[in-house]
Structure 1
Amino acid sequence: MKFSNILSCNLERVVKPNLAVLQGCGLGDCDVAKLCISAPRLLTNNPKRVQAIVACAQNIGVPRGSRMFRHALRAVASLREEEVAARVEYLRNTFRWTDAEVGMAVSKFPPVLNKSKESLQRRSEFLISEAGLEPVHIAQRSVILGHSLEGRLRPRYYAVKFLKENGLLKRDSSYYTVFKESDMTFKKKFIHPHKEAALHLEEDYDAACNGEVPTNFRFT
Structure 2
Amino acid sequence: MGVCRSSKMFIHAVRVVSSMSDQNLEIKLKLFRDLGFSEYEILEMFRKTPPVFAVSERKLKKVMEVLLATGKYDVSCIFNSPTSFICSVENKLKPRIQVLSILESRNLIEKWPSLATITRMTEISFFEKFVYPFLNEVGEVYMVNNTITAKRSRKLKDRIKKEP
What is the aligned partner in structure 2 of residue 65 from structure 1? 6
Which residue identity is paired with 2:81?
Answer: R
Query: Residue by residue, what CA displacement relative to the aligned partner does 1:22-59 show, whole Å, maximum 9, x if unpaired?
Result: xxxxxxxxxxxxxxxxxxxxxxxxxxxxxxxxxxxxx2
What is the aligned partner in structure 1 of residue 138 from structure 2? 201
Structure having greater relative contact order (Cα 8 Å, sep ≥ 6)? 2
1:157 and 2:157 equivalent?
A: no
Deviation at 1:171, TM superposition (A): 5.5
1:74 and 2:18 equivalent?
A: no
Which residue identity is paired with 2:144?
Answer: A
Contact kept in structure 2, 1:144 and 1:179, CA below 8 Å: yes
Which residue identity is paired with 1:125?
Answer: E
Compute the RMSD of aligned alpha carbons.
1.8
Deviation at 1:146, TM superposition (A): 0.5
Q: Secondary structure at the match of 2:20?
A: coil
Can you give the 5+ residue segments of structure 2 that lack an aligned partner in the other structure?
A: 148-164
Q: Supply the distance in 2 between the matched residues of 1:131 and 1:155 (Cα, whole angstroms).
A: 16
Deviation at 1:150, TM superposition (A): 0.5
What is the aligned partner in structure 2 of residue 91 from structure 1? 32
Q: TM-score, structure 1 length as denominator?
A: 0.61
1:107 and 2:47 equivalent?
A: yes
Q: 1:143 to 1:62 in 2, by over 3 A?
A: same
Q: Supply the distance in 2 between the matched residues of 1:142 and 1:71 (Cα, whole angstroms).
A: 15
Query: Residue by residue, what CA displacement relative to the aligned partner does 1:60-112 show, whole Å, maximum 9, x if unpaired?
Result: x321111211211121122123322221121221x211111111222221112
Percent of pairs identical after alignment?
25
The number of aligned residues is 147
User: Structure 1 runs of 4+ off > 6 angstroms?
Assistant: none
Q: 1:98 to 1:178 in 2, by over 3 A?
A: same
Contact kept in structure 1, 2:100 and 2:112, CA below 8 Å: no
What is the aligned partner in structure 1 of residue 84 from structure 2? 144
